Structure 1
C-alpha cells in the first residue's frame, strides 16, 4: 500500500511539473518530429501492455495456487479431527488441533502479509503429533485411526511449509520495474516534443498518466497472495472450525 501511495503522489507531482514547464517554455504544436515520437510512444505502450498482461496472469495464478494450498491444509486438519474423534483417549489431540487452527488464523495470517509466519502454531502441531504417538488405542480399529491421524499430521506439516513458501513469494521485481520504465516512456515521450499544452492535450496527458498509474498500482496490489486485492484469507480454516463442532456433535469428547 505504501508503494502505491508513493507512486500516485510522484506521478501527480511529475505531471504538474511538466505542465508548468511546458506552459512557460513550450512552443506551439508542430508536426516536426511527431511521427517518430509517436512511433516510439506506441512501441513503449505495446511493451507496457504486454508486461501488464503477463504480470496480471502470473499474479492471478499465484493467488489461485495459494488458495488451493490453504484449502488442502484445512481439509487435512478436518480429516485429522475426524480420525481422532472416535478414539476416547484422543481428547487432548482434538484440543491441540483446534489450537493450531485458531493460532494459524490469529497469529499467522497477520504476519503472512509481511512474508513471515509465527512459530507458535508449528510448535502446537508438533505437540499434537507427540500426543498422538503416545496414545495406546485398544484394538486394530483404534490403531488404524491413530495411524491415519499421524498421516494427516504429516500432510499438515508439509502444507504449513508450503503456506510459508507462498507467503514468502510475490511477483518478481523485474516485472514491476519493466512496468514502471515502459509506463514512464509512454507518459514522457509525447512531452519531449516540447509543445505548449492545450486543453485537448492536457486531457490526453491526464488519461495517459492515469492509465499507466492505475495499471502499475493494480499489479502491485495483487502481487502478493496474502495482502492487497484478492488476498487469500483464512476462510478455509474458519470453515474447518465449524466442522470441528459438527464432529463433536457426532463424537462427544470424553474426559
Structure 2
C-alpha cells in the first residue's frame, strides 16, 4: 500500500512540475470547465473506472462460478462414496454411510454459516479422517471387498480434495486495492464537474444525479459480490440439499 501511495504522490508531483514548466515556456491558460484539460482528465478517469469496475466484477463472478461447480463435484463424490460403501460388509457399510450423511448435514448447516466468514469447521475434516481410518481398517477377505474398500477410499480422497478447494474459495476475495481503486475512481468521475469549476443547475442536475446513483449501485455491487459465500451472487448449499434427499433415497432402497 505504501508503494501505491508513493507512486500516486510521484504522479501528482509530475503533473505539478509539468504545469509549471509549460506555463513558463509556452502554452495558454485552460480555466474552462469544458476545456481540453477537463476533457482529457474526464476521459481517462472514466476509462480507469470502467477498467477497475470490469475487473472487480469479472474476477469474483468467475470465482463464484468455479466455487459453485466445486460444490456439485464434492456432492457427486459423496454420492459415489455412499454407493461404493454399500458393497462393504453390512456393519461397515452402515457406519460409513451414516458418517457421510452426518458430513453432508454438517456442511450445509453449521459449516456453511462459518464459510460466510471465510473459514471451515474442523469437525468436517475430522469426520472425513475418521471415515478414512475406518475404511482402511475394514477386513477385506475377498477381491470384491478389496475393490469396494479401494473405491470408497478413492471417493473419500475426492471429497477431501473438493473440501480443500472449498476452503480456498471461502478465503478468496479480490485484492483490497482493486476495490479501493474502483471506489476512488468512481468518486473522481462523480466530482470531476465540480472540481473543474462547473456549477450544475436545474435540468443539468438530473443526468448528474442519475450517473451518481448508477455509480453508487455499481460500486456497491463490486463490494457485495467480493465474497464467494455471501452477497447477491453467493453460492448456496443447493448441491448438498439435493444430496441429502438423494442419500435418503439410496438408503431406502430406491
Greater relative CO (CA pairs within 8 A, separation 6+) = 1
1:250 partner SS: coil
Q: Report the counterpart of residue 83 of structure 2 in structure 1.
A: 82
TM-score with structure 2 setting the length: 0.82
2:252 partner SS: helix
CA distance in 2, matches of 1:128, 1:164: 20
Matched, 1:33 2:36: no
How many aligned positions are there?
A: 221
Alpha-carbon contact 2:104-2:244 (below 8 Å) kept: yes
CA distance in 1, matches of 2:125, 2:198: 62
CA distance in 1, matches of 2:248, 2:201: 67
More deviation in 132-141 or 206-215? 132-141
The alpha-carbon deviation at position 239 of structure 1 amounts to 1.6
Gaps of 5+ in 1: 1-30
Matched, 1:173 2:176: yes
2:242 corresponds to which of 226, 239, 247: 239
Matched, 1:157 2:160: yes
Alpha-carbon contact 1:38-1:190 (below 8 Å) kept: no
Listed one character per residue, the Cα deviations across residues 49-90 of structure 1 (whole Å, up to 9, x for unaligned) are 122122211111111111111111111100100000132132
Listed one character per residue, the Cα deviations across residues 82-111 of structure 1 (whole Å, up to 9, x for unaligned) are 000132132111110000110111111111
After superposing on structure 2, the runs of 4+ consecutive aligned residues of structure 1 that deviate more than 6 Å are: none
Alpha-carbon contact 2:173-2:226 (below 8 Å) kept: yes
Matches within 5 A, 1:57-206: 57-87=58-88, 88-89=90-91, 90-206=93-209
More deviation in 58-67 or 241-250? 241-250
The alpha-carbon deviation at position 183 of structure 1 amounts to 0.7
Alpha-carbon contact 2:42-2:192 (below 8 Å) kept: yes
2:235 partner SS: coil
TM-score with structure 1 setting the length: 0.81
Q: RMSD across aligned C-alpha pairs, in angstroms? A: 1.7
